[in-house]
Amino acid sequence: DFDLNGIEVSSIADIPGGTGMGSSSSFTVGLLHNLTAYSGLDISKPGLGAGACRVELDLLKEPIGKQDQYAAAFGGLNLIEFLPNGTVNVEPILITDHTRSELNANLKLYYIGNQRSASGILKEQKKNTAQKEKYDTLGKMVDLVYDLKDALTQGKLDDFGSILHKNWLLKQSLASGITNQRINNFYATALDAGALGGKLLGAGGGGFMLFYVPVHKQLAVDEVMQQLDAEP
């Protein structure tokens, strides 16, 4: 907590809120970092992550997870584990410069519109996880995290695309608002044009879609997505 007066904070963003980019958590981490520095205090990366979680989860009562806050606090490419006792482990994923360059070149982001409130979707998803089938689905998604880490460290980036695809198929079964016919059409069209896999970012319902697309297929995917009014 900060005992500060006479401070005005304003923000301007290049992307709209509610699009799955983690902007609220990034803003919160940045604000805490600035207020800490302004107060002449030091704060660790774990402290920033925990502090941002306290603001969003405890004070604002948002029904969200903790991954965005810790991703923003630490930066880089990491495996983040949230343990039942509340401990958060952040392990850097070490990849070669070649793999990093190829990964960056093959990832495509498309804005499909329809900003949404994550709260409603996440509340339903949290409620649904009481069902054994939904809980088991979450377990399968956790297993894919370690498969994805192996694909990255071994430089098997085509596997990265297929794992994204498996994750998306599992994710959309968790709550009714995650996907819809329009989103499914975007996804199927991108795969038909050459994407190896992808997912809708954030809770679901709209915003940005991420795809793994080999460079030689990107022009074709761009063309069909633009025909559907998706902005690369």
How many domains does the chain fold into? 2
Q: What residues are paired with 232 via a beta bridge?
A: none
Does the structure show a pLDDT above 70 at 115? no
Tokens of 196: 């190896």
Catalytic residue among 1, 42, 58, 68: 68
Say whether 68 is catalytic. yes
For residues 62 and 153, state if they share a domain: no
Q: How far apart are CA 115 and CA 14, in angstroms?
A: 14
The residues, any chain, with a CB within 8 Å of residue 30's CB and separated by 6 or more, are 72
Domain end: 70, 92, 114, which one?
92
For residues 115 and 161, state if they share a domain: yes
User: pTM of the full predicted structure?
Assistant: 0.89
Domain end: 92, 120, 147, which one?
92
* The length of the chain, given as a count of residues: 232
Does the structure show a pLDDT above 90 at 62? no
For residues 48 and 158, state if they share a domain: no
For residues 30 and 61, state if they share a domain: yes
Specify if 12 maps to a domain. no
Domain end: 44, 75, 92, which one?
92
Q: Which residues constitute the domain of residue 75?
A: 23-92
Q: What is the average pLDDT across 199-215?
A: 88
Specify if 8 maps to a domain. no
Exposed/middle/buried for 125, CB within 10 Å: 0-12, 13-18, 19+?
buried
> What is residue 213's predicted lDDT score, i.e. its pLDDT?
98
Does the structure show a pLDDT above 80 at 46? yes
